Amino acid sequence: MSQSMVDKRAKFTRMDESTAEDWAIISSQHDVQVEELPDRLLQQLRLLDADTSGFAVDRLTHSLQTAHRAELDGRDEAYLICALLHDIGDVLGPRNHADIAAAILRPWVSEAYHWMVQQHAVFQGYYFWHYVGGDRNARDALRGHQYYHLAEEFVRNYDMPAFDPGYHTPPLEHYEPLIRSFFVPPSQS
């Protein structure tokens, strides 16, 4: 750790002993973390490269195909970001990947898009859970929710077809400018 980083650390050892000066230091470092978020997201996406987990394409290619299909349909930037990041939690939380992606996206996307990403795993289940001992109709418990059709359409049109080794898939660099411009200080906290 550089001397300048040490100089910019809060001096308390317990949070209940902190001061306004300490929190000014911590807040300034928090802003740096927000500014570096695009780099960390790109890094996490790269972790999905070469991880096929038995699928016909790796998880990064799947994410890129999902976003590209949505892009070709003219979806807005927030939707493209959701499509690109919907499986970013696969490596960190294979049993709750959708929750991880939704938590990352929450401050930057609408309630509808957040719900779509958070629930997409249940909607995916319709296509395969019956093959692995699950209830393919689990999504029916969500029927009637105002965003049900949005999530169902996302999975049907973009997520499920995006395992195609023959599909022309743009590289991650295609979406890097979008990631860098999209993740600015959040409109929600």
**pLDDT one-digit tens code per residue, 82-98:** 999 999 999 888 899 99
Residue 153: Cβ within 10 Å count: 13
Q: Centre a 10 Å sphere on the Cβ of residue 42 and count the other Cβ atoms it contains.
A: 15
pLDDT at 187 over 80: no
Q: How far apart are CA 150 and CA 171, in angstroms?
A: 26
Helix, strand or coil for residue 3? helix
pLDDT (tens digit per residue) in 143-183: 999 999 999 999 999 999 999 999 999 999 999 999 999 99
| Structure confidence at residue 7 (pLDDT) | 61
Domains of the chain: 57-182 (1.10.3210.10)
Mean pLDDT lowest among 23-32, 108-117, 150-159: 23-32
Residue 68 to residue 83: CA distance in whole angstroms: 8
Q: What is the structure's pLDDT at 186?
A: 57
Q: State the DSSP string of 104-129.
A: HHTTTS-HHHHHHHHHHHHHHHHHHG
The per-residue pLDDT for 189 is 44
Rounded mean pLDDT of the chain? 91
Q: What is the mean pLDDT of the segment spanning 116-127?
A: 98
**Whole-prediction pTM:** 0.89
* CA distance linking residue 74 with residue 128, whole number of Å: 28
